[in-house]
Chains A and B, each alone.
Chain A
């Protein structure tokens, strides 16, 4: 089954702890993205990567970090510097080609307790 997989689906974190969200795709897509979704707001871009070993900050990168060591994987670390980390996090990938559609994972709901 081709697709994009996020894990875990639910994640609880204590304040002051870093946590890493997993995102894996077997679609052979070059580009990968991380979005954050809060109630009543659109998806906000955190980081994106167009190619292995390269990534760019999105609109709300502060308090987050990523890596792209393999084409298939794009993990997101939510650091203790992120002031309001509780949110629904979505990972996506897309093939080359302008305007190409994004394929999303099922999301990870992070709650800080």
Chain B
């Protein structure tokens, strides 16, 4: 069955460092991969989209890579700030574009 794995352990880093979160998937060939941010008790908010034929995407302090051979995406936040503390979810979108499956998310804590 289709499976998305994100590190269930929380990631603790110091302010100013780069946070790297991992998303691995199996039994799936997504056309797109998305990353969302979710704060406690709230709905997820879209951050970035990367297509299957793209290797890397950047947006301000965020960078996403997508390796379809390894079936893995890495999400980087550079110069991290305490305000970046949240849960980050990866999501895979099928070719049709309407069915999206989500990982469980990784909780990030950035200490001042």
Chain A hits for B11, CB < 8 A: none
Interface range, A side: 20 to 34
Check A99–B41 contact: CB distance below 8 A: no
Q: Does B101 contact A (CB under 8 A)?
A: yes
Check A99–B44 contact: CB distance below 8 A: no
Chain A hits for B104, CB < 8 A: 40-42
Check B89–A48 contact: CB distance below 8 A: no
Chain A hits for B41, CB < 8 A: 107, 109
Q: Does B29 contact A (CB under 8 A)?
A: no
Check A43–B98 contact: CB distance below 8 A: no
> Per a CB cutoff under 8 Å, which of B32, B36, B89, B102 touches A99?
B32
5 sampled A-B residue pairs with Cβ under 8 A? A45-B101, A48-B98, A90-B43, A102-B100, A105-B43
Binding site for B on A (CB under 8 A): 6, 31, 33, 35, 40-45, 48, 50, 58, 90, 92, 97-107, 109
| A42 touching B8 in the complex, CB below 8 Å, given contacts A99-B97, A102-B100, A105-B43 | no
In this complex, what residue of B is CB-closest to A30? B98
Interface range, B side: 20 to 34
Most buried by B among A31, A41, A92, A104: A104
| A42 touching B103 in the complex, CB below 8 Å, given contacts A99-B51, A107-B41 | yes
Chain B hits for A35, CB < 8 A: 102
Check B43–A98 contact: CB distance below 8 A: no
Chain B hits for A106, CB < 8 A: 42-43
Q: Does B62 contact A (CB under 8 A)?
A: no
Check A99–B98 contact: CB distance below 8 A: no
